[in-house]
Amino acid sequence: MSLLKKDLQNGILARQKELLKQVEADPWRLKYHQQAPTGWLNDPNGVHQKDGIYHLYYQYSPLDASGGLKYWGHKTSKDLVHFKEEEIFLYPDQKFDCHGVYSGSAFEESGVIHFFYTGNVKLSGKQYDYISSGREQNTVHMTSRDGFSIDTREVAIDAKEYPEGFTQHIRDPKIIMKDDLYYMVLGGRTNEDKGAILLYESKNLNEWNYKGNLLEDQSGLGYMWECPDFFILDGQDILLMSPQGLLKEGYKFENVYQSGFLMGKTDWTTLKFLPSKDFEELDRGFDFYAPQTFEDEQGRRILWGWMGLPDIEPEYSNPTIERGWQHAMTMPRELNIENGKLKQRPLEEYRILRKNEWTQNVDLKEKNYTVSETSDAYEMIVEIKQPTEPLEIFLSQDVKVSFDGDLFTLELGESGYGRKTRSIELSTLTSIQLFVDSSSLEIFINDGEFVMTSRMYPTSNLREIRFEGKSMFQVRKWDLKTTQ
């Protein structure tokens, strides 16, 4: 163990015990979502499954709820529902990552887990803007045989070796295997403030050759493309990324930064990705960023997202900062392509949490309907029988989801802490699946065609659900058991 790692460990242990008491007493702590024990959480990292065990690593600042020096937190699970918090997996204790072990990914080959991540180094000095100067973001290769201990760790691509024409914002490696070759995608920002996906090729994971920009001619997609992910799903090539700098278009791209995907095909001769459709957001709510996917041992493509965003203030905020913690992960989602559309659905494993089932057929043309005395953690499915009729659903204190024949809208009042309205253009509404937790809401619309995720912080003890409008539907509801 390095002296720096020992110092970092001792500093965390000395302060975290008291902080834990404060955090665990917070009624806004989530019941079945994954959150850090204390402090700050952001991007999911290195997600994979080995020998039946799911590993979720995440960007973690254990003592600073506003985000400080980044470590890799670590959780494990046998079912993707119940998780165990493991010891911190990765410390910023090397000269090539001493200012933060930033985001990365993992894959297994021949019993060895290969991790690639960004090692952040910031030089001191007022003359630096940390965009074009003053920063080193090294790509680091790390191996492990069990996912708990590190066997090797060394720089794969030194920051000084990146191609000309780019700022020092190059990060978030993800590996693809094709025809006995390894390909790495990295998110980047050019000197002309355009986003880029840098593509590297290797025969052995140690020596990497730059092959150019995987995605070209995408003007209007912002100045920086973070957290790229690339995979094949149901015969389609999918490129995920989190662009910064998109301009709002109607009801699209309303958050400070976006996360979404391009669908298409890759020309492996020219090494260019050829989109067949425009960029689409993965989530249309207030709190979703930096998703990462993996394929589990059942062959499912599963996505985790950070239920949060950077740089949200002053538009909105999270009051849990004052209580010693901030942010969580979304529920894991299974991805599929159906009729040319990417669909996201909650995992079937979460049905094990259901209890106190309740079902009702409702005709709002006869009268409004109210469900009283609900818990603060529940799942509700609304199957619409009249898909063009208006519907309003009032949740808890001041949260409303509605459909008027043209728009599906999520509205929050004071409990949104600045979050107000997000809408999706929609002509027919066939189903709504809501997952409410103590301070979060995830909405799957039309069997996963759209998703909206938001944090909310209710202060009222009023826990009723009210339906208004002219629609007919069947509603099913379950309270959900806690997993914490």
Catalytic residues: 43
**Distance, CA of 135 to CA of 189 (rounded, Å):** 13
Go through 300-316 and write b for each residue having 16 or more CB atoms within 10 A of its CB, e for each that does not.
bbbbbbbbbbbebeeeb
> What amino acid is encoded at 51 in this protein?
D
User: Following DSSP, what letter does each residue of 310-364 receive, concatenated?
Assistant: SS-TTT---GGGGGTEE-EEPPPEEEEEETTEEEEEE-GGGGGGEEEEEEEEEET
Report how far residue 435's alpha carbon sits from residue 455's, in angstroms, rounded to the nearest whole number: 12
Which amino acid, residue 179? D
Cβ(101)–Cβ(89) below 8 Å: no
Which DSSP letter does residue 20 get?
A: H
Total residues belonging to the chain: 484
* Closest C-alpha among 244, 229, 230, 188 to residue 212: 188
In one-letter notation, the amino acid at residue 267 is: D
Say whether the peptide bond before residue 332 is cis (omega within 30 degrees of 0). Answer: no
Cβ–Cβ < 8 Å for 344, 435:
no
Under 8 Å between Cβ of 163 and 210: yes
- What letters, b where the CB count within 10 A reaches 16 and e where it falls short, cover 244-263? bbbeeeebbbbbbbbbbbbb
Q: Is the peptide bond before 275 cis (omega within 30 degrees of 0)?
A: no
CA–CA separation, 370 and 192 (whole Å): 55
SS3 label, residue 13: helix
